[in-house]
Amino acid sequence: MSERTAVEIGTETVVATRKRVSQFSEAWSRMKRSKSAMVGLIIMIILILIAIFADVLVDYEVDCVTPDLANRLQVPSREHILGTDAFGRDVLARIIYGTRISLVVAFSSVTLSLVIGAMLGSIAGFYGGKIENIIMRITDVFAAIPNLLMAITIATALGQSIFSMIVAIGIAGVPALARIVRATVLTVKDQDFVEAGRALGGNNMQIILFHLLPNCIAPIIVQSTLRVAGAILSTSSLCFLGIGIKPPTPEWGNMLAGGRDFLRTAQHITLYPGLAIVITILAINLMGDGLRDALDPKLRR
């Protein structure tokens, strides 16, 4: 290998990159073939659009927040398609707004997990030896504390805001992501483009960022997608328990908590926010499964 010239190795990197690009389009066409993954994708796109345009669809102040005490606990009717809650607020409007909050928290926290986890995992995998050991040990300790607990503890300490929830769920998700990244880096580490990168004169950081990580993308994408589903579940669990975002800010979990006192008289408050959670997580899982099947050559059938 030492006999090859820099140009040859450089070309290999270019070829590898081109292969990667066509790899993606191949994966995309594979995914298109899976109907359920497509359904998941479409639902996700709809949800994201709802989240972005929530302000257009509903008026936050009027529909979500202001109490209308004369109309409390109305069953679904033509005026309020999904009924009203204990304060007379329209449930559908609150669910729509809640979409924005859930998705913001979910995506932000997974991004946080990703950034920290990928950094830790790739450093551990790349350098190996003592550094790897230390990083993985610390990760193990964090991993020993269950997800929900970790999030609850951090959220309780940092106060009740969207920010603290993002941090809480984000940090709770770091160990899993770090592990995946490290494992993938280990398999990819010895391949040629690392040499290529070195030959092109990059230092270690550049190699990690520009050569190593891009080749680990497939499992990272799959894991992150599934983590988003987990983050949505964590978000609603935390809010349900009363830790995290509080009313009047509409969030699916705290809407469910609000419905607990009315299990006898107004079940719609419990029913519909829960359905929203189910649909969202289902869509993400379908998409994630499809991504995994598409990106993983082993399962090619």
Partner 1 sequence: MTRVKKITALFLCLLMVVGVLAGCSGSPEVKTEPSAASADTGQGEKKIKEEVVIAVIQNPVSLDPHYGTENHSRMITTCMYNSLVYLDVETLEIKPALAESWELPAQNEYIFHLRKGVKFHDGSDMTAADVKYSLERCKEMPRAATYLTGLQNVEIIDDYTVKVTLEKPSPVFLSNISGTIVSIIPEGSGDTAGDKPIGTGPYKFVEWSTDNYVLLERFDDFYGGAKPTKYLRFRIIPDNSVRNLTLEAHDVDVAHQIQNADYTMLKNRDDIKLLIAPSVIVEFMGLQVSAPPFDDIHARKAVAHAINKDAYIQGVFDGEYTKVTSFLVPGAFGYNDNVNSCEYDLAKAKEELALSKYPNGFEFNCYTTASRAPYTEALQYDLSQIGVKMNVEFVSSVQSHCAAGYKGAHITSVNNAALDGDIMYNYLHSSKKQTGGNLTYFGNARVDELLEKARFEMDTQKRADMYKEIQDIVAAEVPIIPLHSIIAIVGTDSHVKGLKSNPTTVHEFYDVYYEY
Partner 2 sequence: MLRYIFKRLLMLIPIIIGASAIIFFILNLGGDDPVMLLLAGTEPDELTIELTRKELGLDKPIAIQFLDYMKGLLTGDLGTSWKTGKPVFEEYMMRFPATVKLAFVALSISVLISIPIGIISAVKQYSLFDNIGMVAALLGIAMPNFWLGLLLIICFSVQLGWLPSGGYGGLAFLILPAITIGTDQAALLTRMTRSSMLEVIRQDYIRTARAKGLVEKVIIIKHGLKNALIPIVTVIGNQFGHALGGAVLTETIFSWPGVGRFMIEGINKHDRPVVIGCVIMLCIMISIVNLGVDIIYAFVDPRIKTDMTKKVLRGGGLKCQKGQQ
Enumerate binding residues for partner 2 (CB under 8 A).
Answer: 133, 136-138, 140-149, 152-154, 156-159, 175-176, 229-230, 233-234, 236-237, 240-243, 256, 259-260, 263-264, 267, 270-271, 274, 277-279, 281-282, 285-286
Name which of 110 and 294 has its Cβ closer to partner 1. Answer: 294
Is 174 within 8 Å of 182 (Cβ atoms)? no
Q: Distance (Å, rounded) from C-alpha 265 to C-alpha 253?
A: 19
DSSP 133-163: HHHHHHHHHHHHS-HHHHHHHHHHHH-SSHH
Q: Which is nearer to partner 1, 23 or 285 (CB)?
A: 285
| Shortest reach from residue 213's CB to partner 1, in Å | 31
Cβ 112 to partner 1, closest distance in Å? 24
What is d(CA 238, CA 169) in angstroms, rounded to the nearest whole number? 10
Q: Return d(Cα 197, Cα 192) in angstroms, integer.
A: 9
Nearest approach, Cβ of 59 to partner 2 (angstroms)?
28
- 97's CB contacts (< 8 A; 6+ apart) are 54, 58, 60, 63, 64, 250
* Rounded-to-integer distance, Cα 225 and Cα 37, Å: 12
User: Interface residues for partner 1 in 49-68 (CB under 8 A)?
Assistant: 65-67
Residues numbered 73-132 forming contacts with partner 1, rule: CB under 8 A: 86-87
- Minimum distance, C-beta of residue 152 to partner 2, in the bound complex (Å): 6
Q: Rule CB under 8 A: is residue 262 a binding residue for partner 1?
A: yes
x-marked contacts with partner 1 along 13-32 as a string, rule CB under 8 A: --------------------
186 touches partner 1 by CB under 8 A = no
CA 141 to each of CA 40, 85, 167, 226, 238: distance values in angstroms, whole numbers, following the listed order: 35, 42, 18, 22, 22
Place of tokens 């040629």: 192
**Is residue 241 within the footprint of partner 1 (CB under 8 A)?**
no
Tally of CB atoms within 10 A around 33: 11
Report, in Å, the least distance between residue 93 CB and partner 1.
15
Which DSSP state fits 262? G
Q: Is 300 in the site for partner 1 (CB under 8 A)?
A: no
Structure tokens at 238: 């935390």
If one asks whether residue 248 binds partner 1 (CB under 8 A), the answer comes out as yes
58 Ramachandran zone, left/alpha/beta (phi>0; psi -120 to 50) = beta
Q: Which residue in this structure is represented by tokens 């603290």?
A: 164
Exactly one of 39, 57, 138, 162 binds partner 1 (CB under 8 A); that residue is 39
What are the structure tokens assigned to 95, written together?
Answer: 């669910």
From the list partner 1, partner 2, none, which binds 248 (C-beta under 5 to 8 Å, kind-based)? partner 1
Which CB sits closer to partner 1, 215 or 237? 237
Q: Which stretch binds partner 1 (CB under 8 A): 131-139, 147-155, 180-188, 257-265?
A: 257-265
Q: Which spans of this chain sit near partner 1 (rule: CB under 8 A)?
A: 34-37, 39, 65-67, 69-70, 72, 86-87, 159-160, 242, 246-248, 260-265, 267-268, 271, 275, 278-279, 282, 286
